[in-house]
Amino acid sequence: MTTPKLQELGAAQAAALLQRRELKAEDLVRACLERVAARNDDIHAFTHVDAVSALAQARALDAGPVRGPLHGLPLGVKDLFDTTDLPTAYGSAVYAHHRPASDAASVTLCREAGAIVLGKTVTTEFAYFTPGPTVNPHNALHTPGGSSSGSAAAVADHMVPLALGTQTAGSIIRPAAYCGVVGYKPSLGRVVHAGVKSLSPTLDVIGGFGRHVEDTALLGAVLTGDLRLLENHVHGTLRIGLFPSPSWDQADADTQKAWEQATNALAKNSDRCQDLDLSRDFGELIQLQKDVMSYEMARSLSFERLRHREALSPALQALLDTGMAISGAQHAANLQRTADWRLRIDALFERHDVLLTPSTTGAAPEGLAATGDPLFCRSWSLLGLPAVHLPLMRNAKGLPVGLQLVGRMGEDHKLLAAARQIHDKLLF
């Protein structure tokens, strides 16, 4: 087996070497910067990189004590997060050259833990559907997904070992699936949202990307302060609920193949797999998520809607108009329906430890004018449950395909431990 290049090290592996002083932060940062210099003009994952500052921070870390669990790790930050030392445009010309007065809380926590912010990664316009310039690192004619397109692509292409992202509909799980990396969306409310452009308070979640489950667990432990996320042990036999969902007829042959191979492999490994029997009305969650998101985005982006409408894409304008047409009374009813469903779904986890379900309809679609369909993510985003995308295979075109695991609200540590165990069994 060949020794991986420094920029190819997983975050957890690199962190262990950095903690033991067997690897210098400056060497790792320099390797990542060289990769960015070689590839970013093709992939367009980063909107801005500050190499001078990153190297200076790395040298300071090498000269001082170990700072924390992310000591010396290069980090990509989605351009939806405020940063004082780098421009923050939220993927929109409205905020070109904008410099916030403070870092987002999540960025500050990562810096405090020793991470080195290499630069800002591309987001779609206000984290909605209008794409930025990022392409899929596996095939430049295909979308990387969205809205955390740059973060997923940067990790997949070995520019950084870790990157921050957000999800309101499918903006972590979908780009992780299309780019072939691990994406972790924590439980709703587990990560403080201060300093990240708010779209939908009911749905917005901060998470991130790595190349292995333990990488995202390391990042998640820093973001949440919950060290249980670093535990590997699963108690007893996993009880896995198999849920292709009511939208299964929209899954293509690649997703169906991944599903068949995964469920067969898990059954052979003596995991307790059981088909999940949910009533057909589970499908109503897709429209419910759309309505909650559009209502709240229309109001969260009121300044942009009223003062800079002409600078917004037609797709975003249409969403905001749709959201403004939903009454406050209807939104209140939608929130109550959401709360009812969250209680209803929680009961499933008395019988199942995790749920296995599709991440996307298939591999990354060809074309860069759209970011793909978050169909298989919308319901879980509405429910606020933690989710992890697991890359499993490549299709005939060499594009990644995988599935996601969903856990119980607040039990992210159990989900990540299960994801580590399951992923090892499912790499085919």
Phi–psi pair at 308, nearest 5 degrees: -135, 35
* DSSP helix/strand/coil, 81: strand
Residues in the chain, how many? 428
Catalytic entry in 92, 106, 120, 147: 147
* DSSP helix/strand/coil, 202: coil
- Whether 185 is a known active-site residue: answer no
* DSSP helix/strand/coil, 120: strand
Edge-first strand order for the sheet with 400-406 is 46-49, 116-121, 74-78, 162-167, 205-210, 182-185, 387-394, 400-406, 354-358, 239-242, 272-275
| Residue 350 CB neighbour total at 10 angstroms | 8
Contact 320, 293 (CB under 8 A): no
Query: What is the residue type of 227?
Result: L
* DSSP helix/strand/coil, 333: helix
- Whether 147 is a known active-site residue: answer yes
Catalytic entry in 92, 148, 171, 245: 171
- Whether 151 is a known active-site residue: answer no
- Cα 193 to Cα 201: distance, rounded to the nearest angstrom: 9
| Cα radius of gyration rounded to whole Å, the chain | 20
Please list the residues that pair with 394 across neighbouring strands.
400
Query: Which DSSP category does 187 fall into?
Result: P
CA angle 415, 192, 419 (to 5 degrees): 10
* DSSP helix/strand/coil, 60: helix
Closest CA to 110 of 35, 160, 49: 160
Give CA separation, 154 vs 134, 312, 361, 379, 398, in Å.
Answer: 10, 26, 23, 27, 18
Give CA separation, 357 vs 241, 311, 380, in Å.
Answer: 9, 38, 10
**Secondary structure of 305-322 in HEC code, one letter for each residue:** HHHCHHHCCHHHHHHHHH
| Residue 94 CB neighbour total at 10 angstroms | 18
Q: Which residues are catalytic?
A: 78, 147, 171
